[in-house]
Amino acid sequence: MRFSWHFFCIIIFAAFASCSKGSTNDNATLTVNGRINPKGQTTYNYGTHLIQVSTFSAYLVESTGLNLDSYNGDSVQVTIKDMGIRQNPGPELYNVITITPL
């Protein structure tokens, strides 16, 4: 009986831990360095450009006030804000607040 009580407690603890792990911080702002390129064809229809940070890491972005096309192919530092837009399947969408060539 004692073993099953400990097992039950572990299961409950794991369930609560996994619930908090999945939460997102909507509207978070962060600064990243990378190469900016047009998005190209995708199955999702939001975002205009990608900020390629590494071979396996990129951010889908758009901007309401900046012309991102003038930076195509350039290495840039961007400050981006999470827009809270997600499509399944599809990545998070970020809005470019500032952009600086590197």
Indicate whether 76 belongs to any domain: yes
Share of the chain above pLDDT 90, in %: 50
Give the domain CATH number at 46: 2.40.50
What is the extent of the structural domain holding 35?
Answer: 29-101
pLDDT surpassing 70 at residue 102: yes
Indicate whether 16 belongs to any domain: no
Instruction: Give the distance, in angstroms, between the CA of residue 26 and the centroid of all CA atoms in the same chain.
Output: 10
Indicate whether 7 belongs to any domain: no
9, 10, 21, 82, 97 from 62: Cα distances, Å: 46, 44, 27, 11, 9
Share of the chain above pLDDT 70, in %: 74
pLDDT surpassing 80 at residue 3: no
Number of domains in the chain: 1
pLDDT digits (tens, 9 = 90+) for 55-64: 889 999 999 8
- Is the Cα dihedral 23, 29, 35, 39 positive or negative? positive
Indicate whether 24 belongs to any domain: no
Indicate whether 90 belongs to any domain: yes
Please give the residue that has the higher pLDDT: either 96 or 24: 96
Indicate whether 6 belongs to any domain: no
Distance between CA atoms of 82 and 10, rounded to whole angstroms? 34
